[in-house]
C-alpha cells in the first residue's frame, strides 16, 4: 500500500473516527484505482485528471453501477483533497470529474388493500390511541401531506364547511389541499376536547405544543402491527407516496399531482410515472398470453 494512501486511512480513523468496515471500503476503492494507475506507470498519488477520467470510463465499460462509480469517485476526491491539505500536491485531479448520474429511487407505496387494512388495524388500537391512529392514517393518505405539514395543522384547519385546507409547505409556500369529510371527522374525533386550549389540531406536551413527527411514526408502526403489516414498510412518507401512486394509477395528471404534493419542480413528481410504468410492465409480463415464457 502506498504510504500516502496509508496516511489517508490513518487520518480517517484518527480524525473522523471511521469504522473498520468504512476503512476497508476506502482501502479497497483506492487499491482498485492504484492498480489502474500502475498500468500507466504511476502511483495513486501521482495520477492526473486523464488517469482519473480513464478510470471512471473503465468502471462504466465494466458494467459497474452508477452508485458504485459515484462512491469510488467520492473516495478519490477525499484522498486527493487530503493530499492537497498535506501539501503533497497542489492540484485536485478529480476537480473536473462529474459524478455519475444516479437513477432516481422509486417510492415504496402500499397497495390500496394494504391501506384499508392499515386503517382497520388503527381502529383496533385501544382508546384514544386508536382514534388518533385512524385520524393520522386517514389524513396522510387522503391528502398526501408531509408529516411536518400535518403536525403543524392549526386547531381550526379542518372545518366541516371547508373541504380545502391551506397548508404551509416547504419554503413557506402555501397550497390548498382537499381533505375528505371522513378524514376531517376522524381528526376531530381524535382531537376531542383538549384539556387546555391549544392552537394545534393535535396538541401534545412536546416542546412545540403539538404532536411530534416521531410520535406520528410510532403510532403508524402500532397500526401496522395491528393490521398484520410489516411496520418497517409503514411511515408518513410511505403514505404520501401511496397517495400519489394511487392517484396516478387511477388517471390523475402530473400537473395536478404536483400541485397536491407541493413539489416546486414537476421533475420531482415525474418519478411516480416510472413507478407506474414498472407496474404496468409487470402486469403485461405476468398476464398477457404472448408474454415471454408463455
**Looking at residue 95, what DSSP letter applies?**
T
Q: Please, which contacts does 35-44 make with residues 24 or more away whose CB atoms are closer than 8 Å? A: 43/2, 43/4, 44/2, 44/4, 44/5, 44/79
* pLDDT band at residue 294 using 50, 70 and 90 as cut-offs: very low
**CB atoms inside a 10 Å sphere around CB 275:** 19
Residues of the chain with CATH 1.10.443.10: 112-285
Task: Report, as residue numbers or ranges, the catalytic residues.
Answer: 146, 170, 237, 240, 263, 272
152's CB contacts (< 8 A; 6+ apart) are 168, 200, 210
Confidence check: pLDDT of 236 > 50: yes
Rounded average pLDDT over 179-200: 88
Rounded average pLDDT over 224-250: 93
Using an 8 Å Cβ cutoff, are 48 and 93 in contact? Answer: yes
Q: pTM for the complete prediction?
A: 0.61
Cα angle 22, 26, 30; round to 5 = 170
* pLDDT tens sequence across 41-78: 999 999 999 999 999 999 988 988 888 888 899 999 99
* pLDDT tens sequence across 106-118: 558 899 999 999 9
CATH of domain 3-85: 1.10.150
Q: Where are the alpha helices (DSSP H) in the chain?
A: 3-15, 20-39, 49-61, 66-85, 112-123, 127-143, 147-151, 181-191, 213-227, 236-249, 254-261, 266-269, 271-287
Predicted local confidence at residue 108, as pLDDT: 82
Predicted local confidence at residue 286, as pLDDT: 73
Confidence check: pLDDT of 105 > 70: no
Q: Rounded mean pLDDT of the chain? A: 88
Predicted local confidence at residue 276, as pLDDT: 67
Look at 105 and 45; give whichever has higher pLDDT.
45
Predicted local confidence at residue 280, as pLDDT: 67
Identify which of 37, 49, 40, 43 has the alpha carbon closest to the alpha carbon of residue 4: 43
Angstrom distance (rounded) from CA 154 to CA 202:
8
Using an 8 Å Cβ cutoff, are 137 and 183 in contact? Answer: no
Rounded average pLDDT over 187-198: 84
Pick one of 3.40.50.300, 1.20.120.160, 1.20.1580.10, 1.10.443.10 as the CATH number of 112-285: 1.10.443.10
Identify which of 261, 10, 234 has the alpha carbon closest to the alpha carbon of residue 114: 234
Residues of the chain with CATH 1.10.150: 3-85
Q: What percent of the chain has pLDDT over 90?
A: 56
Angstrom distance (rounded) from CA 34 to CA 43:
6
Round the CA-based radius of gyration of the chain to a whole number and report it: 26
Angstrom distance (rounded) from CA 133 to CA 124:
9
* pLDDT tens sequence across 13-41: 988 888 888 899 999 999 999 999 999 99
Amino acid at each position: 500500500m502506498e504510504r500516502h494512501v496509508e496516511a489517508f486511512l490513518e487520518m480517517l480513523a484518527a480524525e473522523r473516527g471511521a469504522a473498520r468496515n468504512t476503512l476497508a471500503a476506502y482501502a479497497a476503492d483506492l487499491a482498485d484505482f492504484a492498480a489502474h494507475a500502475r498500468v500507466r506507470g504511476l502511483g495513486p498519488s501521482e495520477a492526473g485528471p486523464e488517469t482519473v477520467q480513464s478510470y471512471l470510463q473503465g468502471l462504466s465499460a465494466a458494467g459497474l453501477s452508477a452508485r458504485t462509480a459515484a462512491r469510488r469517485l467520492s473516495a478519490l476526491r477525499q484522498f486527493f483533497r487530503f493530499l492537497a491539505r498535506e501539501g503533497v500536491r497542489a492540484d485536485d485531479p478529480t476537480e473536473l470529474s462529474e459524478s455519475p448520474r444516479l437513477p432516481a429511487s422509486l417510492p415504496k407505496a402500499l397497495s390500496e388493500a394494504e391501506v384499508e387494512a392499515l386503517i382497520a388495524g388503527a381502529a383496533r388500537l385501544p382508546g384514544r390511541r386508536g382514534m388518533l391512529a385512524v385520524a393520522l392514517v386517514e389524513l396522510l393518505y387522503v391528502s398526501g401531506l408531509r408529516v411536518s405539514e400535518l403536525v403543524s395543522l392549526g386547531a381550526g384547519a379542518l372545518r366541516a364547511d371547508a373541504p380545502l385546507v391551506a397548508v404551509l409547505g416547504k419554503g413557506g409556500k402555501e397550497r390548498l389541499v382537499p381533505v375528505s369529510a371522513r378524514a376531517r371527522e376522524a381528526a376531530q374525533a381524535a382531537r376531542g376536547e383538549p384539556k387546555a386550549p391549544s392552537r394545534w389540531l393535535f396538541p401534545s406536551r412536546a416542546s412545540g405544543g403539538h404532536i411530534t413527527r416521531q410520535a406520528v411514526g410510532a403510532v403508524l408502526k402500532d397500526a401496522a402491527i395491528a393490521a398484520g403489516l410489516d411496520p418497517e414498510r409503514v411511515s408518513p412518507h410511505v403514505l404520501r407516496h401511496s397517495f400519489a401512486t394511487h392517484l396516478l394509477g387511477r388517471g390523475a395528471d402530473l400537473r395536478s399531482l404536483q400541485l397536491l404534493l407541493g413539489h416546486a419542480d414537476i421533475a420531482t413528481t415525474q418519478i411516480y410515472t416510472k413507478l407506474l410504468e414498472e407496474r404496468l410492465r409487470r402486469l403485461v409480463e405476468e398476464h398477457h398470453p404472448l408474454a415471454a415464457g408463455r
